[in-house]
């Protein structure tokens, strides 16, 4: 584990590791449970995921702003992971889709409470020179937990075919482990410099000396322009459940669907940390543009592939996430003063969440009323538009952020 990463970053990584074991034991099983066991149509799945994500988005914005206001992150993190653990047994009690909806709301409420505070704590703990490394490490730990969770789901589906409710109950155990670990977190000092011995020095996409910015909500025009570019790509990024359903639509069985999802997570976990480190060295916009281009190719691939050729698309999808997820957070956090990071990340998460909600609703409608390939054609085209916009605007944004390295 790199010495440059402060203890809170590593600690949050392990909390996310155990939470994602629990979450990913459940996530790929939910669409199977809804459609096979409860007989819900795909439109209901889209509704559940859409409303749940709307709740997440609102709570991410409010919790980020309020954590800045009160100067505390830990209570939001602790409560958020607690609600996530509670949602798993609630899912096991479902005998109609509204109960699944309630469980997902509880889970997403917890995610909304914890995510912005957690990301802000990571940003508080490091300076801009290693922000990509820190967020990349967290994504690696988070996704490694997802791999373990998917493997557990795969084994349980194999030896307990149709035992969806028991899987949900078992998933509560690692969730409780994550909650226990949150009680070892302590609040950080947030003056914006020299946190746990990290030297303050400028890097590409990070300001030389963050100061209160003018503009809407006190954030700079560069922050808002960066956010708009990220939102454009978010409209291309509909719910991952559609990828699983697309594989099922192309003839995969339950085990193959879970294996495909495992391939995605393996690639994501293996790539997130080294690509986060690389983004600190060569520039974050380069990483994002590359990731969005790969994403576009993957979605176009899902629109035209048969059951066999889909196998290689899942790991490519994981690579696109490794290129973009942690890097995007590091990029947006570099445009704001230290004492406003919770609010800035909250606006970021909320904006992307509502955009993803619109994307998922549109994708579900296209699936039901046009064809199963239509959502993927739209996603690929919008991602390409994001690539073109970023190529044009990235030089301006790097200059506004006080970049010192060309990209």
Minimum mean pLDDT range among 1-5, 70-74, 247-251:
1-5
Instruction: Give pLDDT, residue 131.
Output: 79
- Cα 70 → chain centroid: 25
| pLDDT tens column, 145-161 | 988 987 888 788 878 77
Instruction: Give pLDDT, residue 308.
Output: 79
Instruction: Give pLDDT, residue 201.
Output: 35
Instruction: Give pLDDT, residue 125.
Output: 83
| pLDDT tens column, 330-343 | 777 776 666 777 88
CATH architecture of 7-185+214-400: Up-down Bundle (1.20)
Indicate the pTM of the whole model: 0.72
Q: Average pLDDT of 260-271?
A: 86
For the cut 90, the answer to whether the pLDDT of residue 382 exceeds it is yes
Dihedral-angle region of residue 210 (phi above 0 means left; psi in -120 to 50 means alpha; beta otherwise): beta
Domain ranges (residues) in the chain: 7-185+214-400
| pLDDT tens column, 68-79 | 888 888 889 999
| pLDDT tens column, 189-239 | 655 434 443 333 333 343 333 444 455 566 777 888 888 899 999 898 887
- The secondary element (H helix, E strand) that includes residue 222 is helix 221-236
Instruction: Give pLDDT, residue 50.
Output: 67
CB 50 within 8 A of CB 357: yes
């Amino acid at each position: 584990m790199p010495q440059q990463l402060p203890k809170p970053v590593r600690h949050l990584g392990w909390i996310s590791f155990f939470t994602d074991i629990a979450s990913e034991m459940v996530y790929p099983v939910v669409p199977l449970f809804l459609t096979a066991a409860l007989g819900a149509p795909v439109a209901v799945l889209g509704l559940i995921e859409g409303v749940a994500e709307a709740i997440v988005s609102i709570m991410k914005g409010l919790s980020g702003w309020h954590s800045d206001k009160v100067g505390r992150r830990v209570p939001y993190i602790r409560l958020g992971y607690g609600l996530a653990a509670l949602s798993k047994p609630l899912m096991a009690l479902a005998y109609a889709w509204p109960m699944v909806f309630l469980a997902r709301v509880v889970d997403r409420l917890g995610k909304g409470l914890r995510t912005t505070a957690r990301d802000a704590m990571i940003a508080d703990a490091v300076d801009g020179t290693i922000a990509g490394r820190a967020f990349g490490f967290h994504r690696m730990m988070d996704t490694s937990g997802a791999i373990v969770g998917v493997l557990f789901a795969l084994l349980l589906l194999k030896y307990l075919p149709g035992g969806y409710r028991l899987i949900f109950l078992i998933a509560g155990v690692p969730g409780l482990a994550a909650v226990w670990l949150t009680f070892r977190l302590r609040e950080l000092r947030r003056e914006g410099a020299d946190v746990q011995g990290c030297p303050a020095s400028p890097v590409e996409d990070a300001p030389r000396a963050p100061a209160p910015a003018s503009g809407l909500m006190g954030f700079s025009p560069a922050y808002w322009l960066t956010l708009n570019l990220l939102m454009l790509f978010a409209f291309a990024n509909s719910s991952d459940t559609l990828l699983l359903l697309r594989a099922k639509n192309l003839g995969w069985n339950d085990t193959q669907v879970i294996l495909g999802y495992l391939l995605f997570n393996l690639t994501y976990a293996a790539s997130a940390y080294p690509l986060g480190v690389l983004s600190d060295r060569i520039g974050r916009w380069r990483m994002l543009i590359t990731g969005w281009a790969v994403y576009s190719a993957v979605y176009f691939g899902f629109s035209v592939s048969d059951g066999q050729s889909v196998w290689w698309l899942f790991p490519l999808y994981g690579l696109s996430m490794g290129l973009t997820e942690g890097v995007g957070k590091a990029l947006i956090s570099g445009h704001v003063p230290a004492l406003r990071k919770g609010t800035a990340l909250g606006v970021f998460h909320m904006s992307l969440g509502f955009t993803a909600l619109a994307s998922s609703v549109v994708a579900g409608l296209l699936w039901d009323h046009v064809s199963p390939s239509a959502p993927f054609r739209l996603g690929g085209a919008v991602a390409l538009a994001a690539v073109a916009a970023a190529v044009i605007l990235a030089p301006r944004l790097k200059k506004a952020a006080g970049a010192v390295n060309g990209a």
